[in-house]
């Protein structure tokens, strides 16, 4: 056992935490597994952890047992609070729980650097938060790393390389300023109740600065335009961005007849700079 608290199946029974679809609840009840996910976030000692969607607290317990200095857990379902209070009592002064919607709450006032984010969230909330965490006003962001559970297909989109079917906006947005790896894949049966698809944990580490210079907004615009019509040649899909788009593509060393999925990160950044220069 990782701690002296009761098994999660018992916690769920005593607090009547039947998983609700409306909260996107698929719980991890194996504490060995939640400890593995916690370890995938790297050394936790000396770090504050933002955990979004703790539910009955399996991952929370893993994070605390692995030595996190403090865990701030944001949970939307009030039914989970008594179970989380028991964990807080077992780890005095190290677990703070906020009841609320992670999309509406700013948890930063309660956290001290270095900060790591760890979460097993409903997939739609996870993707929305990932996009926010990857696109702050300024870089570096408040977090050092993000360790997040996704639908496997989304995880593959995050780490995809040029030429792959999964390569697109998400890969470029993340890989421009961070390192991303899939560290664990999980079958549906790892969860209670099992979801329809497999899942994967992605570990994302921020870089001190972007890999290649570019204006974030221009880069996002040009990549979005390219991948919105990914089967088209770039000279067609990017036509709306500039009247001389072919010349700008050539200046960025991109064939105007290439398609978005063939173009690597460095070339997208060069094209974004060419566009800004030409404006
Ligand atoms: N982390 C737990 C685990 O691994 O067993 C629970 C995982 S379950 C997939 C997702 C959790 O996120 C649920 O406890 C759900 O109530 C919570 N949740 C859903 N939407 C949320 C939101 N917008 N803000 C905070 N928590 C949310």
Nearest-CA residue for atom 6 of ligand 1: 55
Q: What is the CATH number of the domain that holds 271?
A: 1.10.8.100
Q: Of 78-82, 122-126, 168-172, 219-223, give the lowest mean pLDDT range.
A: 122-126
* Residue after which a domain boundary falls, among 152, 178, 206: 206
Mutate to test the pocket of ligand 1, among 8, 23, 53 (most ligand atoms within 8 A of CB): 53
Residue 46 lies in a domain: yes
Q: For residue range 135-163, what is the model confidence (pLDDT) as tens digits?
A: 999 999 999 999 999 999 999 999 999 99
Nearest-CA residue for atom 12 of ligand 1: 53
Do 132 and 260 fall within a single domain? Answer: no
Mean pLDDT for the stretch of residues 37-64 = 98
pLDDT score, position 124: 86
Do 79 and 133 fall within a single domain? Answer: yes
120 by Cβ neighbours in 10 Å (0-12 / 13-18 / 19+) ranks as buried
pLDDT score, position 233: 98
pLDDT tier at 265, thresholds 50, 70, 90: very high
Do 178 and 59 fall within a single domain? Answer: yes
- Indicate the pairing of strand 145-151 with strand 199-206: antiparallel
Pocket of ligand 1 contains residue 164 by CB under 6 Å:
no
Residue 143 lies in a domain: yes
Do 46 and 175 fall within a single domain? Answer: yes
Residue 2 lies in a domain: no
Rg (CA), the chain: 21
pLDDT score, position 136: 95
Pocket of ligand 1 contains residue 54 by CB under 6 Å:
yes
Half-sphere exposure of 227 (CA within 13 A, CB side): 24
Centroid of ligand 1 to alpha carbon of 186 (angstroms): 17
Residue 3 lies in a domain: no
* Residue after which a domain boundary falls, among 175, 206, 237: 206
Residue 16 lies in a domain: yes
**CA gap 22, 244 in Å, rounded:** 49
Mean pLDDT for the stretch of residues 113-132 = 95
Do 149 and 261 fall within a single domain? Answer: no
* DSSP sequence for 87-130: HHHHSTTTEEEEES-TTT--GGGG--SSEEEEEE--HHHHHHHH
Centroid of ligand 1 to alpha carbon of 191 (angstroms): 13
Mean pLDDT for the stretch of residues 152-181 = 98
Do 46 and 104 fall within a single domain? Answer: yes
pLDDT score, position 1: 78
DSSP-based three-state secondary structure for 218: helix
Query: In terms of residues, how long is the chain?
Result: 279
Do 125 and 53 fall within a single domain? Answer: yes
Report the number of distinct structural domains present in the chain. 2
Centroid of ligand 1 to alpha carbon of 111 (angstroms): 20
Backbone angles phi, psi at 162, to 5 degrees: -50, 145
* Helix locations, the chain, DSSP H: 8-14, 31-40, 58-65, 81-90, 123-134, 152-159, 169-175, 216-228, 234-237, 245-251, 265-278
pLDDT score, position 257: 98
pLDDT tier at 123, thresholds 50, 70, 90: confident
Range of the domain at 26: 8-206
Residue 263 lies in a domain: yes
Do 196 and 225 fall within a single domain? Answer: no
* DSSP sequence for 252-279: TT--TT-BGGG--HHHHHHHHHHHHHH-
Pocket of ligand 1 contains residue 26 by CB under 6 Å:
yes
Do 30 and 157 fall within a single domain? Answer: yes
Pocket of ligand 1 contains residue 123 by CB under 6 Å:
no
Measured from the Cα of 26, ligand 1's closest atom is: 9
């Amino acid at each position: 056992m990782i701690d002296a608290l009761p098994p999660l199946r018992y916690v769920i029974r005593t607090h009547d935490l039947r998983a609700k679809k409306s909260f996107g609840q698929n719980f991890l009840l194996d504490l060995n597994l939640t400890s593995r996910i916690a370890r995938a976030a790297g050394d936790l000692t000396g770090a504050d952890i933002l955990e979004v969607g703790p539910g009955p607290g399996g991952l929370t317990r893993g994070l605390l047992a692995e030595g996190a200095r403090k865990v701030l857990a944001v949970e939307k379902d009030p039914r989970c609070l008594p179970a989380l209070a028991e964990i807080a009592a077992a780890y005095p002064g190290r677990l703070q729980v906020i009841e609320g919607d992670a999309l509406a709450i700013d948890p930063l006032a309660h956290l001290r650097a270095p900060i790591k984010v760890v979460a097993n969230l409903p997939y739609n909330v996870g993707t929305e938060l990932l996009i926010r965490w990857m696109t702050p006003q300024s870089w570096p962001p408040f977090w050092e790393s993000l360790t997040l559970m996704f639908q496997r297909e989304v995880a593959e989109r995050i780490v995809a390389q040029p030429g792959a079917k999964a390569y697109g906006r998400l890969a470029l947005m993340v890989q421009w300023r961070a390192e991303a790896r899939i560290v664990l894949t999980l079958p549906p049966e790892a969860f209670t109740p099992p979801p329809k698809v497999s899942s994967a944990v992605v570990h994302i580490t921020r870089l001190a600065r972007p890999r290649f210079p570019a204006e974030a907004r221009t880069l996002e615009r040009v990549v979005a335009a390219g991948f919105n019509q990914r089967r088209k040649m770039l000279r067609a899909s990017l036509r709306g961005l500039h009247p001389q788009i072919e010349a700008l593509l050539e200046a960025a060393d991109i064939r105007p007849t290439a398609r978005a999925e063939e173009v690597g990160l460095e070339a997208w950044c060069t094209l974004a700079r060419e566009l800004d220069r030409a404006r």
